[in-house]
């Protein structure tokens, strides 16, 4: 079978290494591995298999359809549906033994009825809006919703969760306040200490930057794939600095050409050469997730050296100035993300060029290209 010149490579060993780091950083608390959004572009099914072999206690996805795909792939661990659900999916929740996270009371009746139909009790978790402002039950309403759930005979409130909105900014003070409020609301919402419930709030930022946030389970996401919630620096925790990016994006030079000075390059001539310029043409563009915002900003690794993207990135082609990189030939490897020789281009660096975050870069590259797994 003929394959694309562009390849997104994902390292299984890097995934396993990152899982182990997340586990160590959280004091070996049970890990819910976040594999939503096709594992942040890394491929949900294969990543789930790797994390399962590493000892994941559970998996987190956004939608019911993702949970169904994991069950159909023979994933046995508990699977949490994190983004809420419509009542019409209640039967599917029971059929595939998924764990719904309730973000409101809209689906309570449907879930209770489906559990009765299946002759079982369904474990549910409840999401508190402890400061994210996006989903969940506000603290002022929390105790009442807990009682409403407990009135449903076939629903068992098994856990409470919340989400840190600013764990990527440990200096803000927000995260410590939210953790304290989360614990306080839980204590005040139950007639006895909620020891029988699974309390979980720590995302990747919480695991590495917030002491005492591990509680009963942690939910690493971006860190499983080798990046911090914020770009990892020398001031990041020691363990976080050991994360290994799992994804690379590699292409090849399909043409080498030379143009004279004062030549406009690409659509709109957004770059005009100032000298006789040697160009490498790559068969990658915004169709492959290498967005137009990288025009005249991005860098590519060729022959172990950085070379600038010049001209406007188009749908299928990108131009790279290789005038200062001797010996480049048609067929040479070009690295858009990852290592080549001693050089490295990270998703954080690409994100800075694009004006976004590493999460979006990884999702783009993974969703737009076929993934190949390497050890």
pLDDT in tens, 256-311: 999 999 999 999 999 999 999 999 999 999 999 999 999 999 999 999 999 999 99
Q: Is residue 61 part of a domain?
A: yes
Q: Give the model's pLDDT for residue 175.
A: 83
Which one, of 310, 325, 331, 322, lies nearest residue 250 by Cα? 331
Q: Does 218 share its domain with 261?
A: no
Q: Does 312 share its domain with 175?
A: no
What are the C-alpha distances in Å from 197 to residues 76, 154, 186, 194, 214? 22, 17, 10, 6, 14
Q: Give the model's pLDDT for residue 373.
A: 98
Q: Is residue 373 part of a domain?
A: no
Q: Is residue 357 part of a domain?
A: no
Average pLDDT over residues 312-341: 98
Task: Give the percent of the chain with pLDDT over 70.
Answer: 97
Q: Does 218 share its domain with 280?
A: no
Q: Does 29 share its domain with 100?
A: yes
Q: Is 267 a catalytic residue?
A: yes
Q: Does 221 share its domain with 253?
A: no
What are the C-alpha distances in Å from 93 to residues 34, 83, 124, 162, 368? 18, 14, 11, 21, 30
Q: Does 179 share its domain with 39?
A: yes
Q: Give the model's pLDDT for residue 195.
A: 62
Q: Is residue 167 part of a domain?
A: yes
Which one, of 272, 278, 237, lies nearest residue 259 by Cα? 278
What are the C-alpha distances in Å from 255 to residues 252, 330, 348? 9, 5, 29
Q: Give the model's pLDDT for residue 350.
A: 98
Instruction: Reply yes or no on whether the pLDDT at 207 is more than 90.
Output: yes
CA pair distance 48, 14, nearest whole angstrom: 14
Q: Give the model's pLDDT for residue 194.
A: 59
Q: Give the model's pLDDT for residue 188.
A: 82
Domain count, the chain: 2
Look over the chain and give the mean of its residue pLDDT values, rounded to a whole number: 94
Q: Is residue 73 part of a domain?
A: yes
Q: Does 100 share its domain with 175?
A: yes
pLDDT in tens, 16-42: 999 999 999 999 999 999 999 999 999
Q: Does 86 share its domain with 208?
A: yes
Give the dihedral of Cα atoms 360, 220, 344, 254; nearest 10 deg. -50
CA pair distance 165, 332, nearest whole angstrom: 43
Per-residue pLDDT band for 202 (boundaries 50, 70, 90) equals: very high
Q: Is residue 3 part of a domain?
A: no
CA pair distance 42, 57, nearest whole angstrom: 20
Per-residue pLDDT band for 327 (boundaries 50, 70, 90) equals: very high
Judging by DSSP bridges, how do beta strands 7-11 and 371-374 pair with one another? parallel
Average pLDDT over residues 211-220: 94
CA pair distance 239, 245, nearest whole angstrom: 14
Instruction: Reply yes or no on whether the pLDDT at 170 is more than 80.
Output: no
Of the listed ranges 139-143, 174-178, 253-257, the least confidently predicted one is 174-178
Instruction: Reply yes or no on whether the pLDDT at 192 is more than 60.
Output: no
Q: Of 153, 225, 227, 267, which one is the catalytic site residue?
A: 267
Average pLDDT over residues 335-359: 97
Average pLDDT over residues 64-91: 97
Per-residue pLDDT band for 234 (boundaries 50, 70, 90) equals: low
Q: Give the model's pLDDT for residue 358.
A: 97
Average pLDDT over residues 86-114: 97
Q: Is residue 312 part of a domain?
A: yes
Q: Is 36 a catalytic residue?
A: yes
Q: What is the CATH number of the domain that holds 282?
A: 2.40.37.10
Q: Does 210 share its domain with 264?
A: no
Q: Does 237 share its domain with 254?
A: no
Average pLDDT over residues 97-106: 97
Q: What is the CATH number of the domain that holds 105?
A: 3.20.20.10
Q: Does 144 share its domain with 186?
A: yes
For 374, half-sphere exposure in the C-beta direction (CA atoms, 13 angstrom radius) is 9
- Three-state secondary structure readout of the chain: CCCCCCEEEEEHHHHHHHHHHHHHHCCCCCEEEECHHHHHCCCHHHHHHHHHHHCCCEEEECCHHHHHHHHHCCCCCEEEECCCCCHHHHHHHHHCCCEEEECCCCCHHHHHHHHHHHCCCEEEEEEECCCCCCCCECHHHHHHHHHHHHCCCCEEEEEEECCCCCCCCHHHCHHHHHHHHHHHHHHHHCCCCCCCCEEECCCHHHHHHCCCCCCCEECCCHHHHCCCCCCCCCCCCCCHHHCCCCEEEEEECCEEEEECCCCEECHHHCEECCCCEEEEEECCCHHHCCCHHHCCCCEEEECCEEEEEECCCCCCCEEEECCCCCCCCCCCEEEEEEEECCEEECHHHHHHHHCCCHHHHHHHHHHHCCEEEEC
Q: Give the model's pLDDT for residue 235.
A: 62
Residue 331 structural domain:
247-345
30 and 216 Cβ atoms separated by less than 8 Å: yes
Task: Give the percent of the chain with pLDDT over 90.
Answer: 85
Instruction: Reply yes or no on whether the pLDDT at 85 is more than 60.
Output: yes
Per-residue pLDDT band for 231 (boundaries 50, 70, 90) equals: confident
336 and 345 Cβ atoms separated by less than 8 Å: yes
Question: Domain boundary residue among 207, 223, 242?
Answer: 242
Q: Is residue 155 part of a domain?
A: yes
Of the listed ranges 73-87, 88-102, 129-143, 323-337, the least confidently predicted one is 129-143
Q: Does 251 share its domain with 202?
A: no
Question: Domain boundary residue among 224, 242, 260?
Answer: 242
Question: Domain boundary residue among 220, 242, 264?
Answer: 242
Q: Is the pTM of this model over 0.75?
A: yes
Q: Give the model's pLDDT for residue 40.
A: 98
């Amino acid at each position: 079978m003929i394959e694309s010149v562009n390849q997104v490579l994902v390292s299984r060993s890097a995934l396993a290494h990152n899982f182990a780091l997340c586990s160590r950083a959280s004091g070996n608390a049970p890990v819910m591995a976040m594999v939503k959004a096709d594992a942040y572009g890394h491929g949900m099914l294969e990543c789930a298999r790797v994390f399962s072999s590493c000892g994941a206690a559970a998996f987190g996805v956004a939608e019911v359809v993702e949970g169904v795909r994991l069950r159909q792939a023979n994933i046995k661990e508990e699977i949490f549906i994190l983004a809420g659900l419509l009542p019409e999916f209640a039967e599917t929740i029971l059929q595939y033994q998924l764990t719904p996270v309730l973000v409101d009371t809209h689906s309570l009746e449907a879930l209770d009825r489906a559990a009765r139909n299946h002759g079982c009790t369904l474990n549910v978790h409840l999401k508190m809006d402890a400061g994210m402002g996006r989903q969940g039950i506000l603290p002022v309403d929390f105790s009442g919703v807990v009682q409403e759930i407990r009135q449903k005979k076939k629903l068992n409130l098994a856990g409470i969760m919340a989400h840190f909105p600013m764990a990527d900014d440990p200096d803000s003070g927000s995260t410590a306040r939210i953790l304290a409020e989360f614990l306080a609301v839980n204590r005040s919402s139950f007639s006895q200490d909620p020891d029988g419930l699974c309390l979980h709030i720590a995302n990747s930022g919480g695991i590495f930057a917030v002491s005492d946030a591990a509680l009963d389970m942690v939910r690493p996401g971006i860190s499983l794939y080798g990046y911090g919630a914020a770009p990892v620096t020398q001031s990041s925790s020691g363990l976080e600095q050991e994360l290994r990016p799992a994804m690379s994006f590699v292409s090849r030079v399909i043409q080498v050409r030379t143009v004279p000075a004062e030549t406009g390059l690409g659509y709109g001539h957004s770059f005009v050469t100032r000298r006789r310029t040697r160009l490498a043409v790559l068969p990658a563009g915004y169709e492959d997730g290498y967005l137009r915002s990288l025009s005249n900003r991005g860098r590519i690794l060729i022959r172990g050296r950085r070379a600038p993207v010049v001209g406007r990135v188009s749908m299928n082609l990108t131009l790279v100035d290789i005038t200062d990189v001797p010996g480049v030939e048609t067929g040479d490897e070009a690295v858009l993300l990852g290592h080549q020789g001693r050089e490295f281009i990270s998703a954080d660096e690409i994100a800075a060029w694009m004006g976004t975050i590493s999460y979006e870069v990884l999702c783009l590259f993974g969703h737009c290209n076929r993934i190949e797994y390497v050890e």
